[in-house]
Structure 1
Amino acid sequence: MAFRLSISNVLYYMYNQSENPGKVLRFFLWATQQGFQHTPESTSFILQILANARMLAEAQNLLQQVIAGKLSNSLTITGVIENLVDNHKQCNSTHVVFDMIISIYSQARMIPELLVTFDQMQNRDFVPCINTCNELLSTMLKSGKVDVAWRIYEELFRGKVLPDVYTFSMMISACCKQGDMQRAKELFDEMERKGCAPNVVTYTALIDGFFKLGDIEEANKLFDEMLERGLAPNEFTYTCLINGYCKKGFMQEGFRLHNEMMEKGITPNLFTYNSLIDAHCKEGNLMKAFDLFREMRSKGVMHNVVTYNALIDGLCRVGKLKDARKALKEMVTAGLVPNIVTFNTFINGYCKEGNVGKAKNILVKMKNRGLNPNVISYNTLIHGFCKVGKLPEAIGLLEEMHERGLAPSTFTYTSLIDAYVKENDMKNAFKLHNDMEEMGLKSNVVTYSALINGLCKGSRMSDANRLFNVMQEKGMDPNDVTYNTLVFGYWKDGNSERAYGLFREMVEKRIVPNIASYSIAIEFLSKEGNSIKANELLEEMVKSGLNPCATTYLAVLGANLQG
């Protein structure tokens, strides 16, 4: 024990005499080589003088040796930390050592050790500097420990440490990623109250969060506010805006922002290009999509699987399966591995052209490659088989889903229900509907519309009307398909008055009727002798781009002659 104390005494004596940290460090390392056992006191002392002398690389190397247990069998980082905390008031460089400890633990993702260190600091009323606090928060958030990050934030930033723009931006970004925009906005307001000016990172996180929430108005407001403050949007801001607009269907605004971005000399990144290529493909503008694809290459932005998936989807949408296969081949040649989205896109493409055999072969290829088909894979196939009237095969795929432990969705059951309706098998259609609801799945407007269609086809109008009321009681608004089905059903059943009543109801709700509904309403009005209203509806029908049949024109003509 006395031998250990003498090592510490020598270190203190040497430093007090020479104030030469390099000389003290050389002695410390020499003593280590001679087999001397260092204590927490001697180790924390050398760390402090190294930090004070800004010999940070040497201090960090020494800390790494302590953590790895290379300095002494009995020396632990916990003991060193306790000694540092106990003596931090005597040495203003202690926080630098803690910065390094936090940094080492953070880089190594040693979360338990990091939290122990933090708790030791807290228990001894040691207030870390803002950089250490931010390092802690960053590590916790990157490791998915969001709750822990909030605990640290609450403990440190409610009086002890003044948060900076980096702190606020990190926590606001965390809220946005979780979809908690109310908390994000509260933090933003708190930031303003504390006199901390938000930067482009803060605004970009909020803009992205509100776009993902679907609140385009608030996202726009923040972007305008950001510009008013003189903050210049960067590539990430533009990417959030472009992606946000394109995802919500405002493609032209996304394209306009891309042009603005280029005019300002801001080079789009991979995510920007992927958003734009996907948007152009969804618009059916494949030429522009491929222009951007080539532009990426010329600007040194490497394509990824998402890029190719967007192009393949665009080609499949317009029935260019051969070109889609070429894109897949190029993708593989580029060293990229097709993922489940790639395979699902091809399944969808073949199903759309009615080639369900090839679509099912893609499912087999997926399995052979070790990829597990997901609910989307099966839903697409089931829907495809139902569309071509191959109901037994679709039921077989439903059973396979169950065998694989995949839970069918409302879409799965609705596709099958609609297929049974088309086969006039209402017994099995309602059986599937009951099975679906027993599983806790909620029917949607498409499900009810399919069942109503089946009932109308069978002239079961009272049952159809009952379902129509049930869906509205459950808070579902009937769509154009629901109304048009019922209008036609009542007309076919001889109840023209009820058919016309539903027609008026859908028009009042600003739902656009189809040709059949217009024709039925015009015929009803003509028979009632209301030629003025019949003519108005005929004109409205033509203006909406619908072509009335000869019967409709004759009905109006008859009404005009009667008038």
Structure 2
Amino acid sequence: MNALRQRTHSLVCISLNTSKFIHISTNSKSSTLVNAMCDSLRRGSNWDTLTKQFCSVELNHSIVEKVLLKLKDPVDAKCALGFFHWSAQRKHYQHNLWSYCATIHVMVRARMLIDARVLIESVLKKHVEDDSRCLVIDSLFRTYEVMESSPLVFDLLVQAYAKMRMLEVAFDVCCYLEEHGFSLSLISFNTLIHLVTKSDKSCLVWSIYEYMLQKRRYPNEETIRSLISALCKEGKLQTYVDMLDRIHGKRCSPSVIVNTSLIFRIIEEGQTEGGVLLLKRMLQRNMILDTIAYSLVVYAKVKLGNLESALEGYEEMLKRGFSANSFVYTTFIGAYCREGKIERANFLLQEMENMGLKPYDETFNLIIEGCAKVNRVEESLSNCEKMMGRGLLPSCSAFNEMIGKLCETGNAEQANAMLTPLLDKGFLPNEITYSHLIAGYAKAHKIQEILKLYYEMESRLLTPTLQVFSSLISNDFLTVATTVLGTLFGM
């Protein structure tokens, strides 16, 4: 048994030594070939010369990788690019992801950025599927250190995704890179924001800007211009300009408009704590005005349902010398209306007017709707008339709440009379508006008025709701209900 073991051990040693010699010999040949190729490239040999000189060489990934590693310094960048393109033309050889990424790193180090961009776009097109795009990033990571590259390569990657209109992917890659310790430049964020603005993905613009601020990449004039364009495209620029006029009393800079719109969106989406945190950071960097910041904090606390805390914040605001404004008053009026505290809401409305602050459309809408919900219909009507007298139109939801209560109490005629002047001023009723009126006339058994309203609905391309049919059937207007159904379904 011992003799067998010794014989086996001897055979293994011989085998290992033989393998070692073969490996050394192979490495030696490979190294000689790689050096010869690099020397030829450095001498400026053209493709024909290279092909004749190395016609018997069958390229493989190992040889290509070694050549690219030899030529990784900026002084050899043109040689590396020439070798990459020459080897791509050889029969039976195709570059793998490693050689693409290694060559991209070489181009970036040498600041041959046009060539780097071309290669990046080429490799992205080869790996465009969702399940393989991470392969490109991971391969760039794996080759980053060995090619002694620059973080600029990842900026070019994100910019390439953006220019290829793969906008969501570009943002995903941006987040992925940040998670792995690579921070993008402001140029990359601006490129991404600018191209998203030109697309139909407006929500993505604000997600990118929020993320950018969270990572402490602060905007420049180019960023702000793109975001103002996004607001214009959404049709919301005037909305935020008006809001700031009510808070600040005069026109604000484009950057303040943009930052206010972002915070307001975040709060509206229910991410109140995140919005307030970002707001404080903006305030520290003078990206937003104090009065606006305090007003938005009050609004955020009201949205969270912390009315007492909001009132404390408001009192602190006044103690610090800031003046009250229409936006904050309207915020509190809305809170009291939702709680059914109409007396308190009315008091605030009167107080703001006494201070010379002008109620605006939202202020009146809240009061109109709040009064109607607690059956104070006369007050609701009075505020609606006051609103119209100032050249403002009620919102459809506020008006519907008010006339709904009127129709329930048998005042369909009065409700219909309120609608007529509004229509002349451009008010756009919806299905619910007509449903309330039809239900009110059904209770009064006024069939002609019901038919008039139905045909008016039809002319406005509005479809009767279930409430219409229920009210007609319950009031024995089966003939009218059948007529309506027949018209709807062509019976």
Q: Which has the higher contact order (CA 8 A, sep 6+)?
A: 2
- Which category of TM-score, normalised to the shorter sequence, fits these structures? 0.3 to 0.5
